[in-house]
A and B are shown apart, each in its own frame.
Chain A
Amino acid sequence: MQERLHEIVRKLLAEGAIEYFIGYGQGFEPHDVAPCFVAQEDEVEKLVWGPLCAHNLSKYALRAKELDGKVGLLVKGCDARAIVELVKQHQIERDEIVVVGVPCQGQVDLRKLEEVLGLPLEVVKGVEDVGDDFLVTVGEEKRKVPKEQVLRDKCFYCKHPNSFEYDFTLGDVMPFSIDADKGEFALVEELEQLSLEERRAFWQKQFARCIRCNACREVCYACYCKECIFDSLAPRWIEKPPLLGENEIYHLIRALHLAGRCIDCGECERVCPMNIPLGLLFKKVQKDIAELFDYEAGMDLDQVPPLIDFKLDDQDPFM
């Protein structure tokens, strides 16, 4: 599949169809994959594809605005929703970017992998996808790790293993079977079962740990505002120190701003240096939007976003 990717990108660059291509490349560590920008034909070999390519590259689609030409992007099924949303939110024109869709069979959660191996990630020399397992190279040795132990949470209920929005595609895969016995919102529902007091304790504990590095905001495809509400000095929505109350405002307002826009790429949770389970917060947002307004972000270009729309017969418990 990697060869096919190289072939397509080489052709695109040779034809001058794109100014550069954004895919995944090797990072500083062997287990580390980083976004990779390719502008020359002879650099194409740098591009990699595998189960460590977790990043949502759709954020880079916004770069097309600054260029005369087009930008090429490698997009997984889950990230294709971001492309649809960006077009819908009038941030990019669909014809400003060239999307290469890639079929994905699940991505590795490095934190889970570290736990399962019981070894620091530095010893991991590579991860391969072999059907229902991952083949992890540890030093000289190759270990088989079952997918259900190390998959990212969102991959358990993956609905789009194949990118549905693309100009070129690297092929299709059958969705792999994982008997997770859980629904998409299982973790949220678990938390909802708790009492209000317990939930408060849970979230206060999580928010108190936040150092407000803003990584979740920077990585989010939907956080493209030139001036973010949290950077505004007048009005000043939050104070700079990462105190519990301020952190709470920060995370709740982010949840609010992503209502109807969060496409469940899981990037916020992945980049959080404090391991705050932001996925749980944003999954709740998606759940409510789906239940209250029957809306799913990034699926249909013509569907109006829920909070700028209304129906005369919406629920009205307020009287």
Chain B
Amino acid sequence: MAQEAHEEHGDGFEPRILVFACNWCSYAGADLAGVSRLQMPASCRVIRVMCSARVRPEFVIAALSKGLDGVLVLGCHPGECHYSEGNYFTRRRGLFLKQLLEYVGIEPERFQVRWVSASEGAKFADTVEEVTEQIKALGPNRPRAHS
């Protein structure tokens, strides 16, 4: 699938990145980036979740194994969670999962966690751009699902 995407865009590979954005901060941040008309790559597929801790690590593993090029989890800055402590759990899971993925040979850039607040529209755009660039440099994720 990723290979198709690669061939479709003769000018270059446009990664497909799955973004999980927290309803209370990052999703609003994405909204702000939009209404501010900030330019950013169209590589993201955003899924709104009520808290970054809603993102089960299984989601990330399944997405990457099924051939998405990257997964980006966005949450509130530590200490600013709408539910007081959700993002602390995200942080622990992120730390652990990143190392596990790296161990089995998945580039750590393909799974990233970032903190983006509702007022940080520019940071959202920058993050998306940065992650897209990193994943572009890596190239498409191997289509794993049916090999």
Contacts and interface: CB of A to CB of B under 8 A. Distances in A.
B88 A292 contact: no
Nearest to B106: A200
B92 A314 contact: yes
Given A191-B103, A200-B106, A307 B58 contact: no
A209 to B, nearest CB: 14
A312 B61 contact: no
User: How big is the B interface, by class?
Assistant: 35 or more
Nearest to A243: B146
A293 B61 CA distance: 21
Interface string B84-107: 010011011111110111111111
A284 B97 CA distance: 11
Q: Which of B96, B100, B114: most chain A CB closer than 10 A?
A: B96
Contacts, number: 105
Contact of B105 (A202, A281, A311, A314): A202
A256 B58 contact: yes
Contact of A245 (B58, B66, B78, B101): B66
Contacts of B38: none
Interface in B39-93: 57-58, 61-62, 65-67, 78-79, 85, 88-89, 91-93
B94 A284 contact: no
A310 B96 contact: no
B121 to A, nearest CB: 17
Q: Which of B66, B95, B102: most chain A CB closer than 10 A?
A: B95
A204 B61 contact: no
A201 B88 CA distance: 33
Contact of B96 (A191, A289, A317): A289
B36 interface: no
Interface of B: 57-58, 61-62, 65-67, 78-79, 85, 88-89, 91-97, 99-107, 112-115, 144-147
Q: What 5 A-B pairs have minimum CB-CB distances, sorted nearest first?
A: A200-B105, A245-B144, A310-B88, A245-B145, A199-B105
